[in-house]
Structure 1
Amino acid sequence: MEKRAHTYPTLRPEHEARVEGYACIAGVDEAGRGPLAGPVVAGAVILPPGCAVPAGLDDSKKLTPVRRERLFAELLESSGVVHGVGLATVEEIDRINILKATHLAMARAVEALGVAVDFCLIDGLPVPGFPYLHRAIVKGDSISLSIAAASILAKVTRDHMMEEADREYPLYGFAKHKGYGTKQHLEALLRHGPCPLHRRSFGPVAQLELPFV
């Protein structure tokens, strides 16, 4: 079977939105919906015409950790790029559910941009009740450069948070698995019980019925 060539995201979705009359367009994506521990984090990025777009931007899941870190630093330093981060806490995830918490984090990321956003390009499905006009793009982080940039911003920001959490709660290996339900993580949960960073509403944690350590 012939291997399909890798295609990179472009600014076409942003251009199409500008043709429709929108001037300030933000790409939005999240990281951390699936883990058993830690917040869900969203990134929002505006790539205005003429800004210095880092070379090699792509869906964060397709990048090595080293390339993600490099692109993350370049996004923060690039002239003209506007970026914002929002999160929903473990407590909010448990109280309102992970889907609503993800949407809340996305709205907070757009607000954190600090500018008047006309339109958002969001990775995935439409977001009911989102406080900004938006278009949802399935696999948008592989299609839109601003969504790809947002995916890197969200992923690396969350990874850094989980690495910091590892120093506070060293029994679980957060720096390695970032809160996902790996074999190492599940074994640590069984051995030590959950810590305050664990999502009590998620099955593998709720089933333990153990107090926080």
Structure 2
Amino acid sequence: MPAVRTRAPRRAASRAVENSVRRRGYARVAGADEAGRGSLAGPVVAAAVILDPDRRLPGLRDSKLLTPAQRERLYALIVTRTTWAVAVAPVADVDRLNVHRASLDAIRRAVEALSPPGNYAIVDGFRVPGLDLPHEAILRGDRRCAAIAAASIVAKVTRDREMVRLHTLDGRYGFDQHKGYGTRLHLDAIARHGYSDAHRRTFTTAAGRATSAAVC
């Protein structure tokens, strides 16, 4: 009888990193992440979250592993049970700075907007230039660290809501469906209608090169 292949359960993000940092004397550990880096349209949204060590958030994991309904449920818990802040890098900043620098700048502003402030930050993927706070980058932190996972959810839900709002202003592109990412629906709409004010004029290709979009 052939072996039955089963899918491993998606584990909730751990608080082990945050707890380790707290044992080093940092009581308020902020997790930070962004949403929208790979999109063709709309802003990058960054979020920072400080979890309350005494309050549970069951099911917390990377926003990309959750359904929209699960994200909304966890978002409602996060914004009532944690200290959190968001910062937005609009399309103009993405085009002026490039998406990587604009994303890191938004993360810096989100961490610095926390009130009460954090005294240490853990960031998904990259260290943050100009962040006046001890911090470290955690590779795949949105899957490993609960505070970063919480930040990924806040950033994703906030940005998705903004893309739905942009759809109400201009329904030609289907922003409410693909949230600005390069789906076939979106690319076909661009081919028909050209670029809107919500579209980035520069983006990063799969090869990692900054590319200018032809404005129709």
Q: TM-score, normalised by structure 1?
A: 0.91
SS of residue matched to 2:56: coil
Residue 11 in structure 1 maps to residue 20 in structure 2: no
Tell me if structure 2 keeps the 8 A contact 1:28–1:106: yes
Give the direction of change, closer, same or farther, for the CA distance of 1:23–1:168 in structure 2 (3 Å limit). same
Partner of 1:76: 79
CA shift, 1:2, in A, is 6.2
> Quick check: 89-98 or 52-61, which moved more?
52-61
Aligned amino acid, residue 74 of structure 2: L
Superposition deviation, residue 135 in structure 1: 1.1
Question: Which deviates more, 188-197 or 29-38?
Answer: 188-197
Cα contact 2:51–2:147 (8 A) shared by 1: yes
Give 1:201 deviation, angstroms: 1.3
* More off after superposition, 127-136 vs 188-197: 127-136
Q: What is residue 209 of structure 1 aligned with on the other side?
A: 215
1:159-188 CA distances to partner (integer Å, 9 max, x unpaired)? 000000000011110000000011111111
Which SS does the other structure have where 1:202 is aligned? strand
Contact 1:83–1:113 (8 Å) recurs in 2: yes
Is 1:134 the counterpart of 2:140? The answer is no
Indicate the residue corresponding to 1:53 in structure 2: 56
1:42 equivalent to 2:61? Answer no
* Structure 1: distance between partners of 2:135 and 2:185: 39
Measure the CA separation in 1 of the matches of 2:183 and 2:101.
25
Q: Can you give the 5+ residue segments of structure 2 that lack an aligned partner in the other structure?
A: 206-210
The answer as to whether partners of 1:24 and 1:117 remain within 8 angstroms in 2 is: yes
Distance 1:142 1:39 in 2: 23
Aligned counterpart, 1:105: 106
> 2-side partners of 1:151 and 1:159: how far apart?
12
Is the 2:141–2:148 contact (alpha carbons within 8 Å) kept by the matching residues of 1? yes
Q: How does 1:185-204 map to 2 (within 5 A)?
A: 185-202=186-203
- Consecutive unaligned residues of structure 1, counting only runs of 5 or more, are none
Secondary structure of the structure 2 residue equivalent to 1:71:
helix
Partner of 2:32: 28
Closer, same or farther in 2 for the Cα pair 1:203/1:191, shift >3 Å? farther
Partner of 1:122: 123
Q: Percent identity?
A: 45
CA distance in structure 1 between the partners assigned to 2:146 and 2:131 by the alignment: 21
The alignment covers a number of residue pairs equal to 207
- Deviation digits for residues 90-131 of structure 1, max 9, x if unmatched? 000000110110011101111221223210011113233333
Alpha-carbon distance between aligned partners in 2 of 1:107 and 1:172, rounded to the nearest angstrom: 31
Task: Kindly indicate whether residue 179 of structure 2 is the aligned counterpart of residue 178 of structure 1.
Answer: yes
Letter in 2 for 1:29: D
TM-score normalised by structure 2 residue count? 0.90
Determine if contact 1:190/1:208 at 8 Å carries over to the other structure: no
RMSD: 1.7
* 1:19 CA drift (Å): 1.3
Describe the superposition over 1:118-169 as per-residue Cα deviations: whole angstroms up to 9, x where unpaired: 1001111323333322111111111111111000000000000000000001
Q: Classify the secondary structure of the residue corresponding to 1:30.
A: strand
